[in-house]
Amino acid sequence: MNKHDLLKKHFGYDSFRPLQEQIINDVLAHKDLMVVMPTGGGKSMCFQLPSLMLEGVTLVISPLIALMKDQVDSLRANGITAGYFNSSQVGTEQQEMLQLLKEHQLKLLYVAPESIQLLLHHLKPTDVSLIAIDEAHCISTWGHDFRPAYTQLAYLKKSFPQAGLIALTATADRATRADIKMQLAISHAQEYVASFDRPNLTLEVRPGNDRLAQVRRFLKKYKDESGIIYCLSRKSCEKLAEKLSSLGFSVAAYHAGLEHRFRESVQEQFIKDEIKIVCATIAFGMGIDKSNVRFVIHYNMPKNIEGYYQEIGRAGRDGIDAHALLFHSYADMIQLRNFAGDSGNSDVQIAKLERMKQFAEALTCRRRMLLSYFNEYLEKDCGNCDVCLNKPDFFNATLIAQKALSAVYRMKENASLNLLIDVLRGAQNATVLESGFQSIKTYGAGREISWNNWQQYIIQMINQGLLEIAFHEYNHLKLTPQAQAVLFENQSVELAVIPKPEELAARQKKAADESLPSTINKDLYAGLRKLRMQIATQENLAPYMVFSDATLKDIASRIPLTIDEFEDITGVGKHKLDSYGETFLNLTAGYNMMRDGDFTYRIVVAKPKKKKKSNGPKKDTVMESVELYWEGKTIEEISEMRTLKTDTILTHLGKRYVSHKDVNLDAHISSDDLKEIEPLYKSYQQENALKPIFEHFNGKYSYGKLRLAMYLIEATTTE
């Protein structure tokens, strides 16, 4: 089989991503290589695919013991024989792996760097055809994540001289690359540096006011999707996770201060979609190959652009839209500056932080700026960052600027941003009164502008170089030479119009509505996700290992009805076609019937692969209705066939839902209905009667609907 056939057969993809094919050709020719690709760029393919075409085993060195099992599970789900070897395994498990290795039954073996010595005794030089060193920056003390165990890897080239060695990392820096090659004794290795552009990531920066409320609104748009929220400190991770959890989100905190076992379980549950959101410090994320992370939020400002880019790269690995949101606050800047000031190479760190700040404040295309940091230059604006998407309108703000600058001048450049705003707005708080600034001429000169708008205007003025923050002088604002020109030579100033909150909300709503393109049948997509979850639970896999979001979206827009059509879907290889094809086709067939017929009941049928044992009699009346429903019959049709009332059928479905959760009732009762009914249900619960509720709503809801609501409310309150 050639490499294109293997790509389709095992991974379900039709084409290679940029550079993958050239790299694979070189790997197959046993060349040593240094590969730099952004996070999510598709590095693993560069050694996984050739491993299938080479004689012996491919060793993959990876620093992340906790994630090896996932990586191996993913490969196995694609029908590839893979194993791992690390210190988390008990002796018998290790023996088992060694046995498989001896019998030449493994194409890939993942090994922790600490365990490599142990393994060497069991390998003849000719057994190994390829060595892949993932996260290779860990070998260099110049990289940002040095691991001492990686320095043992220099022996690999000596032990297996005939095997090709491929080092892979997302760290772009040239000096680090040279160091990696030297340490691995592959100085001659050709370098491949892929583009760092990840066009599917929407980049957005917002001012950090009222962050919690902003995050809440944002999360509404990404209901039921996976995401990471990076926070600066351990405490803020925990606090944010607690708040979001009390608001009903599925969320956990993760940081290095938590007990090891707890952390592993959070990671595992996140990978399996059992926890949707993780509030984490930067300790979280390296090596998590979860492809369906839909958003990354930086609740606080990152220290530098390298870190920021790696973190946002964890979103949207499947290549479909994902959102990177950064909150920008001056308080964070000040804190980070203090951290940087305390460290050894503070100059470098402060300079890097400064670049980060410039990125956050940019009024031009953010992606161009970001990529220029990695020495990559886009020809055009990207069209997928907040600046490109909402080019601000500017207005003549000379008078506003003069008021602010004159206040700074009269306060003798001895006030911070907050105090300046208070003085402009004529506030009477203790800080103002103690400062004595209530007597200056500009005190209260800017009452007509809200506090938040002042803040944004002044930040813009800082960005334009009219004001400077003196970090070493209590963050006081200072005038620049340009400010003098505005104050004394009447030079004009333009500032961007600040959108009104309702405009922002409308824009966000619009974005939310557009988050699934119109080609995707939304209720089918929802049904597919449920089915994926069922299968993942049955097989103890992470949902994305069953199928990625990209695959489900492709199904939901093309609605395949035959095996041939299904095979054509992106991400469907031979192995997965055999394992899941039929189950998914059942669902699309059911959906297709609905579409052709009754539009009011666009029910998604999620028929479980293996029928669960039912406790009751072999075929009870509930199951009869449920099975007809699964077959795609409408409530009316079932009612007619069984000569039962439609309300009774609804009750059957409700019962089944409560016990097994495998019928989709969204088409029959909405969450708004439930919200309306719930308080009444509670107040009449004692009487156990529906009549008063029925009467209360004047017949708006049928008895069947109310009974259904009752089941659902009970199910959710007892969960």
Per CB under 6 A, does 10 bind ligand ADP? no
Judged by beta carbon distances under 5 to 8 A according to partner kind, the member of ligand ADP, Mg ion, none in contact with residue 591 is none
- Point out which span in 16-24, 196-204, 300-308, 443-451 binds ligand ADP (CB under 6 A): 16-24
Least distance CB 63 / Mg ion (angstroms) = 11
Residue 357 is a binding residue for ligand ADP (CB under 6 A): no
Q: Which stretch binds ligand ADP (CB under 6 A): 253-261, 315-323, 354-362, 475-483?
A: 315-323
Of residues 672-711, those binding ligand ADP (CB under 6 A): none
In three-state secondary structure terms, 496 is strand
| Contact residues for 635 (Cβ-Cβ < 8 A; gap 6+) | 601, 629, 646, 649, 650, 653, 668
Could you say whether residue 632 binds ligand ADP (CB under 6 A)?
A: no
d(CA 323, CA 297): 8
Identify the residue among 3, 4, 9, 17 touching ligand ADP (CB under 6 A): 17
CA dist 413 → 406, 474, 667 (Å): 10, 11, 63
Residue 39 lies near ligand ADP (rule: CB under 6 A): yes
Q: How far is the CB of 141 from Mg ion (least distance, A)?
A: 22
By CB under 6 A, tell whether 40 contacts ligand ADP. yes
**Beta-bridge mates of residue 467:** 479
- Contact segment (CB under 6 A) with ligand ADP among 22-30, 32-40, 408-416, 444-452 equals 32-40
H/E element, 492:
none
What, of ligand ADP, Mg ion, none, does residue 317 touch, CB below 5 to 8 Å by kind? ligand ADP
Helix (H) or strand (E) segment spanning residue 315:
none
Q: How far is the CB of 318 from ligand ADP (least distance, A)?
A: 5
Which of positions 43-102 make contact with ligand ADP (CB under 6 A)?
A: 43-45
Beta bridge pairs of residue 254: 280
Interacting partner of 13 out of ligand ADP, Mg ion, none (Cβ under 5 to 8 A depending on kind): ligand ADP
Asked whether position 42 contacts ligand ADP by CB under 6 A, the answer is: yes
Distance CA 689, CA 431 (A): 62
Q: Considering only 13-21, 180-188, 218-226, 438-446, which stretch makes contact with ligand ADP by CB under 6 A? A: 13-21
4 makes contact with ligand ADP (CB under 6 A): no
SS3 call for 57: strand
Which x/- pattern over 163-192 shows residues binding ligand ADP (rule: CB under 6 A)? ------------------------------
- Give the shortest CB-531-to-ligand ADP separation in angstroms: 20
Choosing among Mg ion, ligand ADP, none, which partner's interface includes residue 284 (Cβ < 5 to 8 Å by kind)? none
**Minimal distance in Å, beta carbon 135 to Mg ion?**
7
Q: Which does 311 bind (CB under 5 to 8 A by kind): ligand ADP, Mg ion, none?
A: none
Q: Which of 212, 279, 63, 232 is nearest to 152 (CA)?
A: 63
Among ligand ADP, Mg ion, none, the one that 39 touches (CB under a kind-dependent 5 to 8 A) is ligand ADP
Residues paired with residue 165 on neighbouring β-strands, in sequence order: 131
Residues 545-564: x where in contact with ligand ADP by CB under 6 A, - otherwise, as a string: ---x----------------
The least distance separating Mg ion from the CB of residue 61, rounded to whole angstroms, comes to 12
Least distance CB 221 / Mg ion (angstroms): 28
Query: Which residue reads 């009941």 in tokens?
Result: 601
Count Cβ atoms within 10 A of the Cβ of residue 607 and give its class: 0-12 exposed, 13-18 middle, 19 or more buried. buried
Count of positions on this chain that bind ligand ADP (CB under 6 A): 18
Task: Write the interaction track for ligand ADP spanning residues 283-302; mark x where CB under 6 A is met and - where it is not.
Answer: ------x-x-----------
> φ and ψ at 37, to 5 degrees?
-140, 150
User: What does the alpha-carbon distance between residue 385 and residue 366 come to, in Å, rounded to a whole number?
Assistant: 6
Q: Which residues of 111-133 are buried (b: 16+ CB within 10 A; e: fewer)?
A: bbbbbbeebeeebeeebbbbbbb
Nearer to ligand ADP, 291 or 634 (CB): 291
In the complex, what is the shortest distance from the CB of residue 20 to ligand ADP, in angstroms, rounded to a whole number?
6
CA atoms within 13 A on the CB side of 424: 29
SS3 185: coil
Going across the sheet that includes 57-61, the strands are 82-85, 108-111, 57-61, 128-133, 164-169, 33-36, 190-193
CA distances from 289 to 67, 179, 197, 379 (A): 9, 26, 18, 31
Reduced to 3 states (helix: H, G, I; strand: E, B; else coil), residue 191 is strand
Closest distance to ligand ADP from the beta carbon of 139 (Å): 17
Residues near ligand ADP (CB under 6 A) are 13, 16-17, 20, 37, 39-45, 289, 291, 317-319, 548
